[in-house]
Amino acid sequence: MIKIANAPCSWGALEFDLEEKSEEIGFEQVLNEIKETGYIGTELGDWGYMPTNPTQLRTEIEHRGLELLGAFVPVALVDVTKHDDGVLAALKVAELMYNAGYKNAFIVLADDNGTVPERTQNAGRIESSMGLTDAQWIDYAHGANRIAKTVKDAFGIRTVFHHHCAGYVETPQEIDKLLALTNPKLLGLCLDMGHYAFGGGDPVEALKTYSERIWHVHFKDFDPEIAKLSKQANGDYFDAIKRGVFCELGKGGVDFKAIVALLHQLQYDDWIVVEQDILPGMGNPKNCALSNRDYIKTLGL
């Protein structure tokens, strides 16, 4: 049975080093509102956002009748000098989830998004000249494989890669390249519908193309008109988010009806995580979470 979760990023708790961090909503309120709006699971959020003591973490999650199903770990994989730190960061998160009893949760590995100026400035409009060299791709894939293998060997926890705008794996072509260079037994794909659309692809086609590598799914919508306005203003990735490029589900360009039908056809039987990335202090996250949950119910989930 497909299960529906939400994540702290829908409340503005993001991994980026932002001035708005002081406006972040506390994890207790986020977990309460995830529960109150009809979801049954959550992701961990940035390290330190939720308790890092496994007993306390388990208590907070269980108290609300939720499950913990994954944790986002950003690593600058293009830089081989950052791989050791990436391994340690992933192991630290995996150990926390394992000791808290969430042994089926995923490490959601991603690039250190938003840290490369050219990629951040041109999110959603990446040109081939802005990509990695063949040698850099080898280093990048090696780092991803190494992290996934180390975590699996240590805790039996699986790793999925989250393609993401403002990182080096954004476009369909870049996702193809990474998957071709990584071990399908070690590294799955976290298909994020909104980021795939923002990166220039059709999420329905992605679901067909990568079906055997998709171990985890994020439901995020994408408003192409907002992206166009941001582009006209020469806005970067964060400008697009601030304008609301990741809108409420059903209000953007992602064909969720087709996606749900295909998920059923593929016999996908795991979590869907709703993510509506916003910056701290933006909008009314609880209302959006409720609207998103209501929309998913119209899809039969």
CA 80 to chain CA mean position, Å: 23
Each residue's pLDDT tens digit, 104-148: 999 999 999 999 999 999 999 999 999 999 999 999 999 999 999
The total of other beta-carbon atoms located within 10 Å of residue 36's CB is 12
pLDDT of 14 reads 75
Residue type, 71: A
Q: Residues of the chain whose pLDDT is less than 70?
A: 15-23
The total of other beta-carbon atoms located within 10 Å of residue 299's CB is 17
- How far the first Cα of the chain sits from its last, in Å, is 9
pLDDT of 23 reads 58
The total of other beta-carbon atoms located within 10 Å of residue 156's CB is 11
d(CA 3, CA 7): 13
Largest pairwise CA distance in the chain? 50
- Burial pattern 11-22, b for ≥16 Cβ within 10 A else e, equals bbbbbbeeebee
**From start to end of the chain, where are the E strands?**
3-6, 41-42, 67-68, 70-75, 106-111, 159-162, 187-192, 214-219, 271-274
pLDDT of 281 reads 82
d(CA 301, CA 285): 21
Whose CA is closest to 60, among 100, 120, 2?
A: 100
pLDDT of 237 reads 96
d(CA 77, CA 230): 28
Under DSSP, is residue 71 helix (H, G, I), strand (E, B) or coil?
strand
pLDDT of 16 reads 55
Count helices and strands (H / E) in the chain.
Answer: 12, 9
Q: How many CA atoms lie within 13 A of 200 on its CB side?
A: 15
CA distance readout (Å), 29 to 76, 106, 226, 246: 31, 23, 29, 22
Each residue's pLDDT tens digit, 172-203: 999 999 999 999 999 999 999 999 999 999 99
pLDDT of 71 reads 97
d(CA 238, CA 164): 13
pLDDT of 19 reads 53
CA 191 to chain CA mean position, Å: 8
Task: Please calculate the CA angle 173-177-182 and round it to the nearest 5 degrees.
Answer: 150
pLDDT of 21 reads 46
Q: Are 88 and 62 contacting, i.e. CB atoms less than 8 angstroms apart?
A: no
Q: Are 289 and 36 contacting, i.e. CB atoms less than 8 angstroms apart?
A: no
